[in-house]
Chains A and B, each alone.
Chain A
Amino acid sequence: MVPEGAAAVTAGNSDVRYAHLVEFGTTKAPAQPFFWPAFRSQRKRAETRIKRALSKAVKEEFNK
């Protein structure tokens, strides 16, 4: 579960459980890293946007 005031970045769901096999490859399939490279390069931007959205929501709701 994702706690309040947080955001989770995930790949896959209960139907798609092979994200790690695509990311790291198998003996028969090449590795096609998609998750970690994107996570690393977009991390700062995502953090900034999450923080901004949080404080915006707080400001809008606080004085209601």
Chain B
Amino acid sequence: MSAALTLQKAIRARLVATSAVTDLVPASAILDRNQRPAPSPSIILGEAQVLDEGDIARKRSRVFHTIHVWKLEASLAGVTAINATIREALRDRLSLDAGHHVADLYIADSRAMRDPDGETSHGVVTLEALIVEEAS
């Protein structure tokens, strides 16, 4: 399976299993989908970019995963808190399906923005991971 997809599955499994996250966003609203507007509150996964890491064996990939957080609220406090719990939830190493291994994973960027509709807050969390293919 692709490195990006197996990582996405592991991220979702971790978020759904972390009560600090599901206290703020129900597990049914942590998903990979395209319709707008996204449910409130929700965590939308799936936007990934994979770059070759440049090792001779071509077994390492750098995966950039953009996680979107949406919430109808007056301030940015809610999405800021959700952003922080996502980061906290991913602090311990993720275990992927056989064939891939997480060598490094960190939240590279985390921001909260006001949507131009005037009533929605939008969080964007950018995650960078170094994924190594291994014999399964």
Chain A contacts to B: CB under 8 angstroms: 20-21, 24-31, 33, 36-37, 40-41
Contacts and interface: CB of A to CB of B under 8 A. Distances in A.
B68 A25 contact: yes
Interface of B: 34, 36-38, 47, 49, 51, 64, 66, 68, 70, 113, 115-117, 120, 122, 124, 126
B47 A26 contact: no
11 contacts: A20-B113, A21-B116, A24-B113, A25-B36, A25-B68, A26-B115, A27-B120, A31-B68, A33-B49, A36-B126, A40-B51
A27 B117 contact: yes
Nearest to B37: A27
A27 B47 CA distance: 16
A27 B69 CA distance: 11
A26 B68 contact: no
Contacts of B64: 36-37, 40
A30 B36 CA distance: 8
Nearest to A43: B51
Contacts, number: 45
Given A36-B64, A36-B126, 5 more contacts: A20-B113, A21-B116, A37-B49, A40-B51, A41-B51
B76 to A, nearest CB: 14
Q: 5 closest pairs, A vs B, by CB?
A: A27-B37, A27-B117, A37-B49, A27-B120, A24-B124
Contacts of B124: 24
B117 A28 contact: yes
A54 to B, nearest CB: 23
A41 B66 CA distance: 15
A24 B70 contact: no
A31 B34 CA distance: 10
